[in-house]
Chain A
Amino acid sequence: MASGDSLSKWGARACGLPSSNFATPDTRNSHDVLDFDAGTDESALFTGVLDPAYDGGGVTVYLTWMASSATSGNCVWGAAFERIAANSHDLDSDSFATANTATGAADGTSGEVTVTTIAFTSGAQMDSVAAGELFRLKVYRDADNGSDTMTGDAELLFVEIRET
């Protein structure tokens, strides 16, 4: 795989939801979105297989989102990997690696999207997920982070992982 090539991708509805503090499925002009609250950290879970052609050089998570009501302010996003390999860990409990975060700014025009990227180096940051392996990606809004200043929900449309 070359840098920038797509390794995994999901629309908003292709997610699993945790038992509490989960992003809320919604639509906006028939676009499926996940609403992430402004006051409470909420998350969504995306399960996939890392493309067997992954080159091992690390990945970048691309989050396409828009503000529900704001036209300014910053949204702090986080993402974390959980490797699911044969004989690796008991799925009855979570085992996500430490999250990486990035801050994105709401578009100045309501309804227009922002793409926020979060980079991960190969290895521990990706929970050592290897090419061809099953994994979960947790995406969350760090709403109580002091740098998260955007009012209202953040609406996530699409998640993609690309070779860095």
Chain B
Amino acid sequence: MAQLSPAERRQIATRFMSEASGNNESTGTVSKADIFAAIDAADAWIDTNFTAFRQALPATVRQGLTRKQIRKMFLLTAVARLDLED
């Protein structure tokens, strides 16, 4: 699974900061560089662990769905968990 490009990761970091500002969410003393590094790490972690995620799914799903569909399954589940805790 390929990682995002530096420009794509920067766009995500920019969007994260814009949404935090728009929602009046505090980012405390976290710096911009910290945010960029966190997005880099998140992208790398997903890339590293995507195989393990696929292996956790039922075999019929692994074999019957495309990789993009499986990524979408991961995304939808992650988004739904957004407000589970602070």
**Which A residues fall within an 8 A CB radius of B?**
35, 37-40, 68-73, 110, 148-153
Contact = CB atoms under 8 A, between A and B. Distances in A.
Contact of B14 (A39, A68, A73, A149): A39
Interface string B28-71: 11111111000000000000000000000000000000000000
Contact of A151 (B10, B11, B24, B31): B31
A101 B34 CA distance: 24
Contacts of B14: 37-40
Nearest to B35: A151
A148 B33 CA distance: 9
14 contacts: A37-B18, A38-B14, A38-B21, A39-B11, A39-B17, A69-B20, A69-B24, A70-B28, A70-B29, A72-B31, A110-B26, A151-B34, A152-B27, A153-B17
Contact of B21 (A40, A73, A153): A153
Nearest to A110: B26
B85 interface: no
A37, A68, A151, A153, most chain B CB atoms within 10 A: A151
B31 A39 contact: no
A149 B20 contact: no
A73 B26 contact: no
Contacts of A70: 26-30
A69 B20 CA distance: 7
A150 B20 CA distance: 13
A70 B28 CA distance: 5
B71 to A, nearest CB: 25
Contacts of B26: 69-71, 110
